[in-house]
Amino acid sequence: MRDKVIDIQNLVKTYQISEEVSVHALRGISLTIARGEFVAIMGASGSGKSTLMNILGFLDTHTSGKYILDGVDGIALDENQKAEIRNRKIGFVFQGFNLLSRTSALENVELPMMYRGDAEPREMKRKARELLAMVGLAGREHHHPNRLSGGEQQRVAIARSLINDPAIILADEPTGNLDTKNSDEVMKIFTRLNKETGITIILVTHEPDVANYTDRKVVFRDGQIMEDAPIAKAAPRPGRKRP
């Protein structure tokens, strides 16, 4: 058994809207993800998958239960320590890309390393260039996001997520704003990353085609896990033309 990157036991998240009204976004879920897994989290909107992503990403705290990321229990950490975990252990890829505007692709990629504080500038530049080349954007280093297509922006975001060698990549609907061609390309990059570097990738999506790129599917409904199963690899490999 490979070691656990994510270990969740009985995780509960309740939003207190007012004194009487509370929303149970997560109703006691348990989930473990091993190092090197490529997991799709699926479910309709409101099913709790985004809440889980926020908790996984140390952007939000759970109400009760246990969540351990790469050996770190987040519940006792202060804001600064959480920022450090986000910085070093987690690579975020968002639906809306979330690149800094009017900042070059290269500088966007460098940013997490800059916040890490111990980066040597030349090494930082070298690594950022290497990552951009890996996502197929060599030569576009100095382009600003407004001169990049959606797919290209998302590839910059992937490069950014990798610069601090995180334990996991959290991708929240990474293909949600992309057309078929570009989402295929992004998913191929994720697949390649997972296979070649063995990095753990957790991806939220509601598109089955996107989920088919992954190895394991966790389906949420009403704050609970409905289904947790490996993706059948006998089926034709994804990447086929969708209608």
Partner 1 sequence: MNFQNLMRTAIRSLGRNKMRSALTSLGVIIGVASVIMMVGIGNSARVAVREKIFTYGSNAMGVESKKRTFTMSDVEAMKRAIPSIKFISPMVGKTQVTAKYQGAILYSRIRGVNNDFFKIKEWPLKYGRYFTEQEILSREKIVVLGNTLLDELFGSINPVGKVMLINNIPFQVIGCLAESGQAFSGKDQDNLIVMPYTTAMVKISGRNVFNEIFISTFNEQMVEKTEASVRSFIREDRGLAPGTPDDFNITTSKEQLQMAEYISQTLAMLLAGIASISLIVGGIGIMNIMLVSVSERTREIGIRMAIGAKKSDILLQFLIEAVSLSSSGGTVGIIIGLGVYYAITVGVGWDFLFSTFSVVVAFLFSCAVGVFFGYYPARKASNLKPIDALRYE
The residues binding partner 1 (CB under 8 A) are: 54, 57, 59-60, 79-80, 83-84, 86-88, 92, 94, 98-103, 111-112, 114-117, 160, 164
Q: What is the CA radius of gyration of the chain?
A: 18
CA distances from 114 to 87, 107, 124, 145 (A): 10, 9, 8, 19
Buried b vs exposed e over 3-22: b needs ≥16 C-beta within 10 Å?
A: ebbbbbeebebeeeeeeeee
Q: Shortest distance, CB of residue 233 to partner 1, whole angstroms?
A: 33
Nearer to partner 1, 49 or 86 (CB): 86
Nearer to partner 1, 119 or 231 (CB): 119
Q: Shortest distance, CB of residue 51 to partner 1, whole angstroms?
A: 10
Nearer to partner 1, 27 or 116 (CB): 116
Q: Shortest distance, CB of residue 13 to partner 1, whole angstroms?
A: 12
Task: Quote the Cα angle for 241-134-98, to 5°.
Answer: 80
Nearer to partner 1, 34 or 72 (CB): 72
- The C-alpha atoms of residue 149 and residue 4 are separated, in whole angstroms, by 36
Q: Shortest distance, CB of residue 112 to partner 1, whole angstroms?
A: 4
The residue to which tokens 């987040």 are assigned: 74
